[in-house]
Chain A
Amino acid sequence: MIFAKMSKNTAALKREENIIHLTYEDIAMLKKEIIYRNPLTSLGYENEDILADGGFGAVMAHAGVGKTALLVQMGLNTMLRDKKVLHVSLHDAVSKVDVWYHELFQNIAHNFNDAAVKEYWENIQPRRFIMIFKEENFSVPKLEERLTELMEQNIFKPHTMIIDGFKFDEIGRKPLAHLKELAGKRAIRIWFTVHAHRHEERAPNELPVWFLHVADLFEVIVELAAENDGVFIKAIKGETPASFQTSLHLDPSTMLVKGSK
């Protein structure tokens, strides 16, 4: 106990003295901070990845609630666990996605000294690859072609893929089923953002009617909702263990669960 206290004090002291290198304690603390406050693990998933190989997950919300932020935070979570993330965006520029990651990381790590955060960021940044498509140019075969190039040339082998801006109501079931097959073959799990609209028709399972034709391809679906001044997350599809909480309050600036565990 005394030893633990001492090492914590030393870490704090070192930070004050402007030491550039992060200590092991710092890294462990940073990882814990992010992983403990990950809203999805807080929903009760035991597996850190939440999804298995070839699994599909969706984060559904109205515009501006924080779908991208939540997925970027999950991307960071994966990067911190030494695994690689391919972030595919159909509406933002490379620089904008990069800023999302950078800022969210800075927000989470604001307690640590700037130089240490900068160095740690440089260490984990190579674990992320941003791929931008114009919405009108995007197709699953094109994505497959790019992914194959990356993997076969040994440039980047993603563990998790994030697809932001996929139009489920326009793209039929077939391409998505093909993508799932591809994810299984390449041992990747994919998270999507799903843009829900206000006043739209919902099925009894709370999913929008236009999403039903692909809903069975997804293992996990969560919904983000803005109420009063906070953002809440609730599980629509997926594991419901005993500790299941119907809703979790998120910090809108980081999309992490408010307060440390």
Chain B
Amino acid sequence: MKPDDKKVRNIGISAHIDSGKTTLTERILYYTKRIHAMHDVKGKDGVGATMDSMELEKERGITIASAATYCEWKGYEINIIDTPGHVDFTIEVERSLRVLDGAILVLCAVGGVQSQSITVDQQMKRYKVPCIAFVNKCDRNGANPFRVINQLKTKLGHNAVAMQIPIGLETQTEGVVDLATMKALYFDGEMGEVIRAEEIPQSLLEEAKAKRDELIEAASLFSDELTEAVLEERGITAQLLYSALRKGTLKREITPVFMGSAYKNKGVQPLLDGVTYLLPCPSEVQNVALDMEKNEEPVVLANDSEKPVVALAFKLEDGKYGQLTYIRVYQGTVAKGSTIVNVRNGKKVKVGRVVRMHADQMEDVEQLPAGYIGALFGIECSSGDTFVSPGVHLTMTSMFVPKPVISLAIVPKDNKSQMAMAKALNRFSKEDPTFKTYVDPETSETIIEGMGELHLDIYVERMKREYNAEVTTGNPRVAYRETITQRADFNYTHKKQTGGAGQFGRIAGYIEPVSDDEFVFVNEIFGGAIPTQYIPACEKGFRQSMAKGPKLEFPITGVKVVINDGASHPVDSSDMAFQAAACGAFREAYLRAKPVIHEPIMKVVVETPPEFQGAVMGLLNQRRGMIIGSQDEGVMCVIEAQVPLAEMFGFSTVLRSATQGKAQFTMEFALYRQVPQSIAEKIALEVAQNKKSAA
């Protein structure tokens, strides 16, 4: 391995589902000679594209897990993370973006900037990932790359500039005009592998000149040298132009746009050139870790292979040979045989095999220097763990993990399935922090929790396919929460002094709503009304009470407990007595504090042809949806709404039938909001019925 990080690119390919990013990755791997045959996502040959390594992905034609792969292009080493396209897997996308230095934003030349592209773009902004764009599917009917560039500007606020113009569109797609070199590029050979550079066709010359002027004008903002060259009317070399564009791209102030059709093998190689010219190398990106010894103070990491190791495990996979841990090395070198420490649990680990992945095939290497992405074998850890050299106490910033909003009870069909299910659940919850599992102590059912219906569906199917675990699922349940709306006082005495060891504890104070925290405990007792040693027991009692509301049994959030008085007994008071007193006090005050139920509200974005706009709005309205707005885009119309998750079950089927299958929607968690009184009564009734049937 050559540790020249100037020639390393860690990139991701992010986009809306069906924009063709998996096909694009496949073509990249073919042209970089990592694979020797190409397959389509939904391939007729039944092989499927190389990056979609999971069976299920191949069947559904979507990418679920982000397999990392490595390839070389003109002396540059490129690590590609293929990211999932569906919103339900956003945590995967976010995790990938965390380890990337740059990204290709793939957009469909027909569909343009769609709702998912907006989400992905926001994520890129959050992690400050510089990007270039690729307008794919220029061979499709209705393709218009310049409309997409315009949408990049208006919808996403990118300063998007065309690097190319197309030579023919739709069925006439022949190639592209490169505006930096002012050459027409054609892609010959059976697989488009032979690039023929020619003079620009006369019919496109004027347009090419105009677009080049726009490109130069945009780029000149980032380079004085280029501005001087323009003012002095000197010839502008491609190199000068690229160096200006690179500066802008790294600052995320300009987005160069390439175009073509991955499926028809047009425009992929110039995009790869763009990756090497315009996206950053690892040392050009500032990475920050937190110093655990200095109260999590941020520390800028040096992209230096000689320094102590700091590496992040960003993905786990259960393969034929055991757990495979994908890591990104930020500092130091992870070498075969070296010892590293998992910061989370302090365990020392000896590095066994170090590999570089190419989808599901692998290649052994001796070491991974700073800035590289690779995988380790036989290391027990969770996704998101940081590995460091012994003696180092740095951790990579914790990733933003949303709380699950939906749960599902699963029951294994037989004993064999039960074993397999346990194994699968253990693996999935390690791989995906948004996927949680537990056993309900009352019903003894195994409950899985996640970010949406599809999210859980996929895991249930993976259980069947990868682990042979046959399970039946119950109805999805929404993660309701309870909170209080007003202050209520308590003064509760727990007393059991008849026979045997007695129990005594009195607690007084009040509870009140708090907006940003889940639970706040304040001790305002002066003069020892409750001895100090019992205060933690009081807090524990209140905290325990928060786990389940006394009536509806949903978790309680947003409560501040203040204790200001109490009493104890020299003999009969104990931790247990005060814990019980706290539970009693909470019960006493809770119902007087006017509790309400909160439900998860989802941001739902529906894209539909305008003729179905009314019908779609009607559907959303029937589901207690609040329509924020509608955006007329000519061929498509986008409706944005906030809808309670409880009303969204089965929405995809209803939407399909109401729009002849022409509309699609995405959904993500937005906020928790109080449920209306009538619905709260219905929920209370359901809870009561469930309790009855469980008994």
> Which residues of A are in contact with B by a Cβ distance under 8 Å?
17-21, 87, 93-95, 97-98, 113-115, 118, 122, 125-126, 129-134, 136-138, 142, 146, 149-150, 153-156
Decide: B634 and A130 in contact? CB cutoff 8 A.
no
Distance of A134 Cα from B627 Cα, bound (Å): 19
Contact A115 B515 (CB under 8 A): yes
- On whether A94 and B631 interact (CB within 8 A), knowing A19-B513, A115-B515, the answer reads yes
Residues of A within 8 A of B621 (CB): 153-155
* Docked pose: A116 CA to B558 CA in angstroms: 14
Interface size on B, residues (CB 8 A): 29
A18, B630: Cα distance in complex, Å? 36
Q: B155, B621, B632, B634 — which one has the most chain A CB atoms within 10 A of its CB?
A: B632
- Find out whether the CB atom of B673 lies under 8 angstroms from the CB atom of A98: no
B237 interfacial contact with A, CB 8 Å: no
Q: Contact partner of B633 among A114, A115, A118, A134, CB < 8 A? A: A134
B628 adjacent to A137 (CB under 8 Å)? no
| Smallest CB gap from B614: residue in A | A149
A136 CA / B673 CA spacing, docked (Å): 38
Contact status A98-B628, CB under 8 Å: yes
Question: CB < 8 Å: which of A19, A87, A94 contacts B512?
Answer: A19
> In the complex, which residues of chain A have a beta carbon less than 8 angstroms from the beta carbon of B512?
17-19
Interface positions of B (Cβ within 8 A of A): 154-155, 485-487, 512-516, 558, 560, 613-614, 617-618, 621, 626-634, 638, 640, 673
Residues of A contacting B558 with CB < 8 Å?
20
Contacts of B485 in A (CB 8 A): 20-21
Q: Is the CB of A94 within 8 A of B628?
A: yes
Q: How far is the CA of A115 from the CA of B486 in the complex (A)?
A: 13
What residues of B have a CB within 8 angstroms of the CB of A115 in the complex? 513, 515-516
Q: How many Å lie between the Cα of A146 and that of B637 in the bound state? A: 12
Inter-chain contacts of B631 with A (CB < 8 A): 93-94, 132
- Knowing A153-B621, A156-B627, say if A134 contacts B513 (CB, 8 Å): no
| B628 / chain A contacts, CB cutoff of 8 Å | 94, 98, 125, 129-130
**Once the chains bind, are B632 and A137 in contact (CB under 8 Å)?**
yes
Q: Which residue of B lies closest to A137 (CB)?
A: B634
Contacts A94-B640, A155-B627; is A132 near B632 (CB within 8 Å)? yes
CB pair B486 A21 closer than 8 Å:
yes
B629 to chain A, nearest CB (A): 3
Closest chain A CB from B603 CB (angstroms): 11
Name which residue of chain B comes closest to A86, CB basis. B629
Name the contact of A132 in the complex, choosing from B486, B513, B514, B630 (C-beta under 8 A).
Answer: B630
CB within 8 A of A155: which of B486, B617, B629, B673? B617
Interchain CA distance A143-B486 in the complex, whole Å = 45
Q: Does the CB pair B513–A149 fall under 8 Å?
A: no
Q: How far is the CB of A85 from chain B (nearest CB, A)?
A: 12
Nearest B-chain residue to A131, judged by Cβ:
B630
Which among A94, A130, A137 has the greatest number of chain B C-beta atoms within 10 A? A94
Contact at A130–B614, with CB atoms within 8 Å?
no
Query: With the chains together, A242 CA to B398 CA distance in Å?
Result: 64
